Amino acid sequence: LHTTAATGTGNSQYNGVISLPTNYTGSTYELRDMTRGSGGSFGNNVVTNMAHASTTSTATGTLYTDADNTWGDGANYVEGSSTTAANGETAAVDAMFGMVKSWDFYKNVFGRNGIDGNGTATYSRVHISNSYDNAFWSDSCFCMTYGDGSSFTTLTALDVAGHEMSHGVCARTANLTYSGESGGLNESNSDIFGTMIEFYARGGSGSTIGSTGGNWTIGEQLSATPLRYMYKPSLDGSSPDAWSSTVGNLDVHYSSGPMNRCFYFLSQGATTSGNTSTTYLPSGMTGIGNDAAARIWFRALTTYMTSSTNYAGARTASINAAKDLYGAGSAQEQAVWNAFHGINVGA
């Protein structure tokens, strides 16, 4: 029986000391969120320990429990990539925080009830494999999974968690095929919402790159070098800044670059020092801010995009979404035109 919602304290790796939704069983505390979601594999959103099982394991893992409801304290605080000592609670603390903030973002900003819109509970599996430098969403388990990292620290940073959970949302909406241009848009969708979730949880004006609030890089807490740079994707050495007819041949984590930059322009404009588009953008386009940009992208994704949507289609979808939300001829609609023009898509 598990019916007594409680609030624990978590010593996280990436998010400071935080409150955690837990459950008191009568004898111990579980890392089980009694306040978001229902059904699914565990009946609630939970975090489980994979204890270094293979990345192909379909096991659900062992639910985390803790006697005193303070998580990641003392010997249970285990950071980083040690394969021998990495079953600690720290990764679980950050994974739960990522689920909570992602869930609340979709609910409170868009009114979406969870990943599938029906409130079906999800879960997060931590400590997969050994020194594994990745995290992933799986539709089969309706869950996300995190490695301990080797070049990277444990993969449970907030923008990465938001990225993975947003793969689940995409799968239940536009379901963008994970190759070609639609694959790049699928990856960009996860980067866009991973970043919006970071801003949602941490605040910040949105205009400061690398600030203590949200920021426009992905995975910057995992190593000295971010995984991706939304404001200028080419800084990763592999992603293009603008669309071209060959972008669909790239790995989806690179073909995402132009859409990431487009979304950055839409929100922030092209005038932020050092990040101005010199190639296509009409100088001085004004951004419409995170809130409007995120609403337009969410409506485009959930109302207009399909599994085969390409960059041209994403432009049309976003223009339609902006018209629906803010009116034909609105500044928001014009900003969508400008932002796509800024990545060489459309006039």
Q: Using CB under 6 A, list all residues that contact ligand ASN.
A: 134-136, 163-164, 167, 187
Would you count residue 190 as binding Zn ion (CB under 5 A)?
yes
Would you count residue 195 as binding Zn ion (CB under 5 A)?
no
Q: Kindly name the residue from 52, 127, 167, 253 that is annotated as catalytic.
A: 253
Angle between helices 289-299 and 311-326 (to 10 degrees): 110
Considering only the stretches 60-68, 106-114, 139-147, 190-198, report the one whose residues sit in contact with Zn ion under the rule CB under 5 A.
190-198
Question: Are the beta carbons of 176 and 305 closer than 8 angstroms?
Answer: yes
Helix (H, G, I), strand (E, B) or coil at 249: helix
341 is an active site residue:
no
Helix (H, G, I), strand (E, B) or coil at 110: helix
At residue 160, what are phi and psi to the nearest 5 degrees? -70, -40
Task: Find the shortest distance in angstroms from Cβ 138 to Zn ion.
Answer: 12
Q: Which is nearer to ligand ASN, 297 or 340 (CB)?
A: 297
Q: Which does 135 bind (CB under 5 to 8 A by kind): Zn ion, ligand ASN, none?
A: ligand ASN
164 is an active site residue:
yes
Give dist(CA 285, CA 278) in Å, integer: 12
Number of residues near Zn ion (by CB under 5 A)? 1
Q: Which does 11 bind (CB under 5 to 8 A by kind): ligand ASN, Zn ion, none?
A: none
Would you count residue 189 as binding Zn ion (CB under 5 A)?
no
Nearest to 259 by CA among 222, 206, 223, 305: 305
Give dist(CA 267, CA 215) in Å, integer: 12
Task: Find the shortest distance in angstroms from Cβ 240 to ligand ASN.
Answer: 18
Give dist(CA 261, CA 218) in Å, integer: 13
Q: Is 125 exposed, middle or buried (0-12, 13-18, 19+ CB in 10 A)?
A: buried
Task: Find the shortest distance in angstroms from Cβ 144 to ligand ASN.
Answer: 9
Task: Find the shortest distance in angstroms from Cβ 210 to ligand ASN.
Answer: 21
| Catalytic residue list | 164, 253
Q: Which residues here bind Zn ion, judged by CB under 5 A? A: 190
